[in-house]
Structure 1
């Protein structure tokens, strides 16, 4: 008996070391990108966890002004992703990303001088442009720096580490909220600015694209990413599958307090469960997305799982806490499995399907699917799930299922179109 216990005890540390080795990249560009991700996400979690209260109490905005200003900021960010992506295609992703981090450090510091609604909208919009562009720029940099068989794995490591940093930032923000007062909120703002300054320094040390890219001849020049119907359609489908985010953060909290007998505090536990599972399993769940067909299959799986979680959540309507809480936990686990597949699948398609020399622009186009989800998603999932109850959850399930099922055939069509596109190039002058 003792020997079995000793064997089991020795296996646990080995499993932990193996998991940590998968999560933390090897020394080199991937390790530096990992540090960048943790630092940025810590600043993001620090600011996002306290920003609403900062806007209300320190700047003195009304709730309606905060909502309107952030909506305008979100629209500005979405409109600028494609033009910034084109800059990355022309000059490489490192310099635009470096510029975005420098600008964010200055802009967050600028919040300390904002005293009214107009200044808030201007600063928030500029921050949104830089933050929204940073994700496609990082993906473009990943494409430039790492070989094809490592790109999805590196992206998965970055997402796990992003969640880890976000939790750290949120914990620090909780301390600032406990202290309260103008000085505490200004400290949060300045720490966020300092985090982005560190990101700029790390980005400066990252490798960029070697040399000047080849340019295509006029007759071989790929069309604009916005005119690539198949790719745009896949971006929108991935945006639909990303509805798991507002389901978890908007619809589910309202559902718990309004449609079930479960205590509202359950929602905090579900959010922690989601974050911990993503940190633990995102890297392992990304295996299989190293090719476009594999990524599409993962998106199909995501649609099936997310549809299933909606049906589980629907069962909790009017249920007692004894019944509702286990079902909510089960539904959240299923949602996380769908979330992991969606993330890996979307990285795979966004990295594998753009034509040569257009990675930055296509990453900007792909980000539009996420932007539309962030704009319309909260209203859609709330109106359906919370407003219509079980019927609304069923409609969401069908929508997610159809989006997942449509990804493989559309990916095959996109690959066929990419294979038959002209590929003649001439050296850049």
Structure 2
């Protein structure tokens, strides 16, 4: 019996590893790129706010305001950059973004005040915000339809792994402290992005003749921003992505202010989230290979995220013996919703854009995430932390409604796309 159980465990581990490790070729190259970028991202994000405060001399308010302005600046450029990808292919703009980031991060070494910090943070935000839709467009260009969601899931698992490694290195830099530690962080981050540019240059890409479809003659095509169904789905996915500020902003404040659980449990919750995403993102993405399947995952995500909010609400004023198990259970449920939200979002963003406009539509879809990143921390804090159980209940209803709205809106978007395809059929490929 023990031998059979051991064999089953070994088989399960081998199956998991086979799913996690991308196949040789473009997927393997994209995996290396993802790990390198995420190590740099984890290194910088885990330490930069402290260094800006202690080394550059900015106040906490200046850091927060500067990063908020930078986030808004990044949103303004996602759609124009996506259109460049439609015209020239995604690889060249992505390479340019990584090369620019390598230069821009080194510029932090010369920042001595708030104005310079904001200007540089805005430029970096434009590049970083553009990199995600460009990577998704490149995934659409390079991989077949039945591979794209799985590749995206593998990349997210590997991104979390690289982020953990970067955060660990950041701990060493913070231990060194001072200007030497700060310079080490920015130079290593810049080097990571320079390596990303080199790796991107080695990836396959498609030029305009392969990735874009000639515009039909007649009236000028409408902007993707006027595709109200697609914009609506991007916003719904942004609402469901509130799991992120719930985990990283609301829960830490909730634990220390509204429960009797020890503050250290927050680190356990973050580690639990990261490990579960690494382990199960690929498996949880099955079903998102079609737009209706992706929408069903989003509906399930809304239900799960609503349940996790209600579980967190039960911990108000609870002692550690009650609060800690409920927080762990709530976080596990949150991760299940997070996995479905990620896979469902990839599915819709890859399946619904019209032919030849993947870059532009990826830029449009990024607006939902950008809105969440801008408004989400304030919203979840104002509701959950300030209002207590009632605020958690409001969040639960909001997330549930967002999930339930995804399938019917997806059906409407598919019908609209089919109708547009009938009016402007895709041209036959050139022999």
Task: State the TM-score, normalized to the length of structure 1.
Answer: 0.97
Distance 1:221 1:145, change over 3 A: farther
C-alpha displacement of 1:220: 7.0
Question: Offset of 1:211 from its aligned partner?
Answer: 5.4
In structure 2, distance between residues paired with 1:9 and 1:258:
45
Aligned-residue offset at 1:180: 1.3
Q: Does 1:112 align with 2:113?
A: no
SS of 1:219's equivalent in the other structure is: coil
Matched with 1:43 is 40
Deviates more, 1:211-220 or 1:198-207: 211-220
Whether the 8 Å contact between 1:310 and 1:396 is mirrored in structure 2 is yes
Give unpaired runs (5+ residues) of structure 1.
none
Unpaired segments ≥5 residues, structure 2:
none
* 2:159 corresponds to: 162
Q: 1:221 to 1:160 in 2, by over 3 A?
A: farther
Identify the residue that residue 321 of structure 2 maps to in structure 1: 322
Aligned-partner Cα distance in 2 for 1:219–1:196: 43
- Tell me the secondary structure at the aligned position of residue 54 of structure 2: helix
Q: What is the CA distance between 1:29 and its match in structure 2?
A: 0.2
Q: Report the CA distance between 1:428 and its aligned residue.
A: 11
- Between the two proteins, the alignment pairs up a number of residues equal to 426
Task: Give 1:119 deviation, angstroms.
Answer: 1.0
Equivalent residue number for residue 423 of structure 1: 424
Q: Root-mean-square deviation (CA), in Å?
A: 1.4
3-state SS of paired residue (2:163):
helix
3-state SS in 2 of match to 1:354: coil
Separation in 1, partners of 2:394, 2:348: 26
Verify the 8 A CA contact 2:88 2:207 in the aligned structure 1: no
CA–CA distance in structure 2, aligned partners of residues 384 and 218 of structure 1: 50
Match of 1:9 in 2: 6
Query: 1:359 is matched with which residue?
Result: 358
Task: Assess if the C-alpha contact under 8 Å between 2:309 and 2:330 holds in 1.
Answer: yes
For the residues of structure 2 that align with 1:227 and 1:101, how far apart are their CA atoms?
Answer: 30
Equivalent pair of 1:105/1:193 in contact (CA under 8 Å)? yes
1:193 to partner: Cα distance = 0.5
The residue number in structure 1 matching 2:139 is 142
Alignment partners' CA distance in 1, 2:196 and 2:119? 23
Q: Distance in 2 between matches of 1:79 and 1:238?
A: 19
1:184: Cα distance to partner?
A: 1.5
Distance 2:378 2:213 in 1: 44
Aligned residue in 2 for 1:379: 378
Whether the 8 Å contact between 1:216 and 1:425 is mirrored in structure 2 is no
CA distance in 2: counterparts of 1:259 and 1:172, whole angstroms? 32
Partner residue in 1 for 2:287: 288
Matched, 1:68 2:68: no
Matched, 1:18 2:19: no
